[in-house]
Amino acid sequence: MKMDESLAAFQALILQMYRKVKTMHELALDILRSGDKEKALQLIYMDDFVNHLEEEINDQAQTVLALLSPVATDLRKVIAGIKIASDLERIGDYAKNIADYVIKKGPAEPPFVGEQAEAIGRLFLAMLDAAMDAYQKEDVAQAYQIPRQDEQINDQFAELSGQIETAVMQGMQLEHVVPLVAMLRNFERAGDHTKNICEHLIYQVKGQHIDFG
């Protein structure tokens, strides 16, 4: 197989992984609304598929490196792709964590929690879509803009944390707050890994190491 064909197949696997991870997070938002434990279990099983995809991506990368001796530009595509797959795997883990929360959770959260979690989740999904669109297009300018969306996620999370703190002072039981806040942090952390994807794309195209923090 030629280098172009190998890299195209490699990148197709990464995009397949992205689509599966996106589906997991869409399902996570659905089960947060519905509390459907069967769907939560389905999501957890989907994480195994994502993990296997990462292994397949790593195996294919090794084949490209060992057999085809890529030049600098192609080598960066492989290195960046491995790192992007790793971040996608972590993003999938965060959806799985949300499913675990739904399975184990106790009393229903205050209504504002579901509304705000939905808003944060939608912001994250838009950010992930933009990052992977930039990856497909090798659009460095777009990759530089996307981390600003993470600031919106952080602001929304801070606002929601303040509302939860107020709810605690008004009688919400603290034992329910810790797992709730831990669950909500999954969206924030998923946004951080999406910033990493932008960093990897910039390295792939420009050979520059960027840290968006």
Express each pLDDT in 56-97 by its tens digit: 999 999 998 888 787 889 999 999 999 999 999 999 999 999
What are the structural domains of the chain?
A: 3-206 (1.20.58.220)
Residue 175 makes CB contacts below 8 A (sequence gap 6+) with none
pTM of the model: 0.94
- What stretches in the chain show pLDDT beneath 70? 1, 107
**210 Ramachandran zone, left/alpha/beta (phi>0; psi -120 to 50):** beta
Cα–Cα distance between 24 and 89 in angstroms, integer? 11
Cα–Cα distance between 134 and 122 in angstroms, integer? 18
Give the angle subtended at the CA of 159 by the CAs of 18 and 91, to the nearest 5°: 15
State the angle between helix axes of 72-104 and 174-206 in degrees (0 to 180), rounded to the nearest 10: 170
pLDDT at site 168: 85
Q: Are 36 and 105 in contact (CB under 8 A)?
A: no
Joined together, the tokens standing for residue 40 give 């939560």
pLDDT at site 1: 61
User: What values do phi and psi take at 36, rounded to 5?
Assistant: -75, 105
pLDDT at site 173: 75
Q: What is the DSSP letter of 109?
A: P
Burial (CB count <10 Å: 0-12, 13-18, 19+), residue 45: exposed
